[in-house]
Structure 1
Amino acid sequence: MARSYPVNHWYAIATSAELTEKPLARTICNTPIVMFRDKAGAVAVLEDICPHRKAPLSSGFVVDGAIECGYHGAQFDAHGRCIHIPSQDVIPPRGMTVTRFPALERHDMIFAWIGDDKRATPDGIPDIWSANTYADWTAVHGYHHVKANYLLVLDNLADLTHLAFVHRSTIGASGRTGWFNNPLRVTIEGDRVHSSRTMRDISPSGFMLMTSRFAPTDKIDRFQTSDFFAPAFFTVVLGGEHAGTHEEMQRPHHIVLNSVTPETEETSHYFWSVCRTVALDDQHITDEMYRLTRLAFDEDADMLERQQQAIRADRSGRPLMNFQGDQGGAAMRKVIARLIEAETEEQAA
């Protein structure tokens, strides 16, 4: 089966806080990897297999900035070179190396390049990810392991009309009128898909009420923009003002950063952050934003898992169908398909 993701791109593989003194294992794009920190504290990412007896390196330990296999103690440095074999003092045999993957650590996140390492460059992480570490913002971070193809997770982010149904008892309780009565505007620029929607004279969202900028009885004008950065980054910027205050609203209230990384063709790693500009020192609001966001994404993950099960059982062969609200998601899938096609043509050349 053809893969559904391009490989010559950066993918999120962990948060910085996850990588402690122990090695951390994940599967990224159907490739088992292990990550650890070298002596200088830099992130190293290797294929999670020891060439000696094919044991997973992640079952071992980090020793002086190298990873030690938990089976026979062979040690490998951050470049995947074997530097020590306890049972022999001679030079390690030829072939005792492990594939190394380029890695970046930025904005409290760790990214890896699973494709052709010669094509890896320092750019490719959207600038807006720095909202994770802005001095005048505060953020909460989360992770979901989703039992669904990563494209389905991106679809879910691209069409927020699902809030009124999947999240009807939580974050989508009051959102039906705003989402359905205001058109979505979609533009495409290269590998980036931009969507925007403005909603006038509606009730504040739960997140906005939480920070006391608005009262429950207020009516507000609210804007929501989203940007897809190929192949797997998705940002949502939300803001609002009292109704009739501004024709063009610019001030963000909070930003949701989403990194969706393929694990296999039917599972995904979903890293998210919610960054806000108000009530920065209020720990109760921080805790509530984390709790409510996690609850909402639990609801998404449950629906997406059921969707993946239905797709697996579907014998009709019919493709997914699109509504008007799927403009952004359809454009996003076209970008990804084009990237995969280009990689396939390069490999065949």
Structure 2
Amino acid sequence: MSGLELREIALAYGGTKVLESFSLTAEAGELTALLGPSGSGKSTALRTAAGLLAPDRGQVLIGGRDVTDTPPERRGAVMVFQSPHLFPRMTLAENVGFGLRMRRRPAEEIARKVDLMLERTGLAGLGARHPAELSGGQAQRAALARALVLAPEVLLLDEPLSSLDAGLRAEMRALIRALQRETGTTMLVVTHDQAEAAALASRVALTLGGRIAQAGPPEEIYARPATREVARFFGIETFLTGTATGQTAETPLGPLTLAAPAEGPVTLAIRPESIRPGPGENGVTARLLEAEYLGTATRLTLDAAGQRLVALWPPAEAAGLAPGARVELHLPPAALWVLPG
């Protein structure tokens, strides 16, 4: 199996740096998500991996081979774009088999592989249809089938689900996961959606400002961000500065118990769903500033000793609270994360 590695990639458009010292590894046989906000360089990194853009500096390796100067069609990577880009005058089967025909494979082999891939992607029986006769979800499945039928070493997917509605996105996520497990293909998926990255990938790399800010299992980055910027991207809005001595941190909220010892100046972060209602260890009294009903949760903005806290509680636990209300809550020690540095 082949993995993908981008080493110290630098790339600029004109005088604007897009990638700077960008290093990323997608392990062989795994699905990795490249996550980041718009303009962070993630699609540029994907196109560099595919050979569609040439870096100003750095290396692209596939299966340990340096393919930085290798043409796209010869480097073993295939890319699926946001739009399926199907040929309108070809049937679905002809679209899926297009790459195999370009490789001059025998007609019997093409027919066999196309039929198998149509079945794998849930498109069996639709081979005679033209792109105009396909739904959005079917067209995206066809783009996946056209890429996977080539048995690429690395499959690169650029926001493949962004044009689909919520129901189809969930369906396509399940399909991509199933195809990755079945084929063992190394996949790198670009997305701006945190939930999508966590649902799809065994490893997530977050890019901010043209660099990888943190990489690891999604649950690790989600709960243990490396910096305040990473924490903010993953939805943490409550930060407390203080001074730690052992397992106690003196903060504007008073002394807080930590799960692990620390020393000196610290910044504490806590996820909104980890701030719990009612009394408990690290108890705090706060004043409610705003309550926003979100359907599955209520978002509470609170003030405690001049510190802004943001909590997410089940609607039943926030029922009856109005701005100005006095709220008892607590910050469990296990949920308080001391930001590195």
TM range (shorter): under 0.3
TM-score by length of 2: 0.27
| Higher relative strand content | 2
